[in-house]
Amino acid sequence: GAVVSQHPSRVICKSGTSVKIECRSLDFQATTMFWYRQFPKKSLMLMATSNEGSKATYEQGVEKDKFLINHASLTLSTLTVTSAHPEDSSFYICSARDSPWDTQYFGPGTRLTVL
């Protein structure tokens, strides 16, 4: 089956620093990647949708200058949390799909802790 990886799996950073999270599709070309945020014991909240080579589309309430998304290749998307604060601490999960009628395949998630 299709495999999506994320790196790092866990990251701890100081308040005010920036953190980059990578999402890779290992055995398929991901024309679209999605970034979700999951709060403890809560559901997944879609943050943004990115298509390869295009600017990401952000969901309402998500600050695009805070959460920078780059999808420069068919196998890699990055999420950069800029000037991170403790309230940005969360579990970030990406997903990827090859085509609009394809299933989304999810990565294992990245746990971000901002001190």
Partner 1 sequence: AQSVTQLGSHVSVSEGALVLLRCNYSSSVPPYLFWYVQYPNQGLQLLLKYTSAATLVKGINGFEAEFKKSETSFHLTKPSAHMSDAAEYFCAVAESNFGNEKLTFGTGTRLTIIP
Binding site for partner 1 (CB under 8 A): 4, 6, 34, 41-44, 46, 49, 91, 93, 95, 100-101, 103-109, 111
Least distance from C-beta 31 to partner 1, angstroms? Answer: 10
Least distance from C-beta 83 to partner 1, angstroms? Answer: 26
Burial class (CB within 10 angstroms; exposed 0-12, middle 13-18, buried 19+) of 97: buried
Least distance from C-beta 91 to partner 1, angstroms? Answer: 8
CB of 13 or CB of 44, closer to partner 1? 44
CB of 75 or CB of 95, closer to partner 1? 95
Closest CA to 48 of 92, 13, 85: 92
DSSP assignment of 68-104: EEEEEETTEEEEEE-S--GGG-EEEEEEEESSTTSPP
CB of 18 or CB of 64, closer to partner 1? 64
**98 vs 65: CA distance, rounded Å:** 27
CB of 22 or CB of 82, closer to partner 1? 22
Is residue 108 reached through a cis peptide bond, with omega within 30 degrees of 0 on the bond before it? no
Least distance from C-beta 16 to partner 1, angstroms? Answer: 26
